[in-house]
């Protein structure tokens, strides 16, 4: 699998929205974020959007792209579970979560609540904390545990 970095001049800020109650991704034609950071979601075909804060929503979670995609054009997002190369120049591989670090100001790879790598080591996506977090020991709780350490 070939991982491509999205060129900066072509880079569009991409995001997805997870509906916590229905446990599904919201169709991207039904979501928008304005310049003030308010999330607008069209509910079940209603024409009007209802604004809500990105950081205070109990029902939805916004997940951002890390700016990398695989050779099929599928992007990698915060919360994805990935297979990655543990050391440059070796064939050793492991699995980890992609997580935004507000201390390092970059996306990192975490496992067992610890920083274990960087996104330039990604080989492929194997899941996400939203759909199949059991693919990695500790699941979603493991992902959350690192959040509490850096924020």
| Residue 100 confidence (pLDDT) | 87
19 or 138, which is more confident = 19
**Mean pLDDT across 110-131:** 86
* pLDDT band at 23; cut points 50, 70, 90: confident
Distance CA 112, CA 146 (A): 8
* pLDDT band at 1; cut points 50, 70, 90: low
| Residue 4 confidence (pLDDT) | 59
* pLDDT band at 127; cut points 50, 70, 90: confident
Q: What is the DSSP track for the chain? A: --EEEPPTTT----EEEEETTTTEEPPGGGEEE-TT-EEEE--TT-SS-EEEESSS-SSEEEEEEEEEEETTSPEEETTEEEEEESSTTS--EEEEEEEEETTTTEEEEEETTEEEEEGGGEEEEEEETTT-GGGSTTHHHHHHHHHHHH-
Distance CA 99, CA 37 (A): 20
| Residue 151 confidence (pLDDT) | 37
Q: Where are the domains of the chain?
A: 8-65, 78-151
Q: Mind listing the pLDDT tens digit for each residue in 57-111?
A: 777 888 888 888 877 788 899 999 998 888 777 788 888 989 988 888 889 899 8
Q: Which residues contact 123 (CB under 8 A, 6 or more apart)?
A: 1, 3, 82, 83, 84, 85, 93
**Mean pLDDT across 3-29:** 71
Q: Which residues contact 88 (CB under 8 A, 6 or more apart)?
A: 121
* pLDDT band at 141; cut points 50, 70, 90: low
């Amino acid at each position: 699998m070939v991982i491509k970095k999205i060129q900066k001049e072509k880079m569009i800020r991409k995001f997805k929205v997870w509906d916590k109650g229905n446990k599904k991704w919201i169709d991207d034609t039904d979501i928008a974020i304005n310049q003030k950071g308010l999330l607008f979601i069209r509910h079940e075909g209603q024409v009007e959007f209802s604004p809500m804060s990105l950081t205070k929503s109990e029902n939805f979670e916004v997940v951002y792209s890390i700016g990398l995609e695989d050779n099929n054009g599928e992007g990698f997002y915060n919360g994805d579970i990935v297979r990655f190369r543990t050391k440059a120049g070796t064939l050793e591989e492991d699995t980890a979560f992609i997580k935004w670090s507000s201390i390092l100001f970059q996306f990192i790879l975490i496992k067992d609540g610890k920083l274990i790598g960087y996104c330039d080591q990604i080989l492929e996506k194997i899941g996400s904390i939203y759909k199949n977090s059991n693919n990695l020991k500790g699941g979603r709780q493991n992902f959350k545990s690192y959040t509490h350490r850096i924020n």
